[in-house]
Amino acid sequence: MRLAWLTDIHLDFLSDEEIATFAARVAREAPDGVVVTGDISIAPELGPDLAKLVDAWRMPCWFVAGNHDYYGADVASVRRGMRELSRIEPKLRWLPSTGVVSLTPTTALVGVDGWADGRIGDGQGTSVVLNDHLRIRDLLQPSRAKLLEAARRLADEDARTLATLLGEALAPHEHVIVATHVPPFREASTHAGRIAGDDWLPWMTCHAIGETLRAMATDHPTRKITVLAGHTHDACRVSILPNLEVRTGAVEYGAPTVQEVFELGE
């Protein structure tokens, strides 16, 4: 089983022709499936851009959404759209509503979007304001306190979904790949190879999902969890526990790449 990993492909920066060229480039890796860890496009273009990406593919495309995928909309309506897309286009599967994907008898794939939840670094005091806080309706809030509250609510909900999915996946599988957009640990949230500063970390980490991962990995010492994430656009590979590893992908806007192709044995 060959699984190709893409992240932060930001297709809204590409022309239709460039999307087709990139899709062909992915297909040349001859994957049996593709996983995309978010920031695929922006809300109004997400469905059409995903359709263009998979148009000539035969393999399934499992994906989670990143913060950019919600730009110009609210969370509930984007999620309704992704569920609908997964229903009508058999190659496209939004992972939170897909459940546990058995890639091989021993390896499973699960995923949740994840949200920067302001819990790591200086969430109260940071002067960093992201476009998220202006362009995603749920995060457009009158105060820092309300913003943190909204972000935490979203992150906690995804962490609960992940706990359920991981519980189901870890019982019959030795190895579970978790797709999520926002790095779940400080150690995995880097800029130019160094851990981000306390001003950026609140918006570059999802602590709620990190806590869930740590607990599940600790409870299942004979299982292995590999987390694939994006959002930082910086490559990082870090072991959090002996059986819990996180990888993030390096990306430039307008120049999407295949991060890795995993060869999964039986």
Among 3, 8, 119, 150, binds Fe ion (CB under 5 A): 8
In angstroms, what CA-CA distances link 253 with 4, 8, 127, 174, 250? 19, 8, 24, 35, 10
**E strand intervals along 11-85:** 33-37, 61-64
Give least dist CB 116 to Fe ion, A.
8
Name the token pair of 155. Answer: 């992150």
- Rounded least distance, CB 89 to Fe ion, Å: 23
196, 251 in Cβ contact below 8 A? no
| Residue whose CB is less far from Fe ion, 224 or 231 | 231
**Which stretch, 17-25, 59-67, 141-149, 234-242, contacts Fe ion (CB under 5 A)?**
59-67
Residue 36 φ/ψ region, left for φ over 0, alpha for ψ in the -120 to 50 degree band, beta for the rest: beta
Kindly tell me the sign of the dihedral angle through the C-alpha atoms of 40, 82, 29, 110.
positive
In the complex with Fe ion, the residue whose CB is nearer, 60 or 230, is 230
| Window contacting Fe ion (CB under 5 A); options: 3-11, 101-109, 208-216, 242-250 | 3-11
By CB under 5 A, what part of segment 186-245 binds Fe ion?
231
The total of other beta-carbon atoms located within 10 Å of residue 25's CB is: 12
> Quick one: which H or E segment has residue 203?
none
Closest CB 161 distance from Fe ion, rounded Å: 19
Binding mask 66-105 for Fe ion (x = CB under 5 A): xx--------------------------------------
Q: How far apart are CA 248 and CA 1, in angstroms?
A: 21
Between 37 and 212, whose beta carbon lies closer to Fe ion? 37
Interaction pattern, residues 14-53, with Fe ion; x per rule: CB under 5 A: -------------------------x--------------
Can you give the binding site for Fe ion, defined by CB under 5 A?
A: 8, 39, 66-67, 231
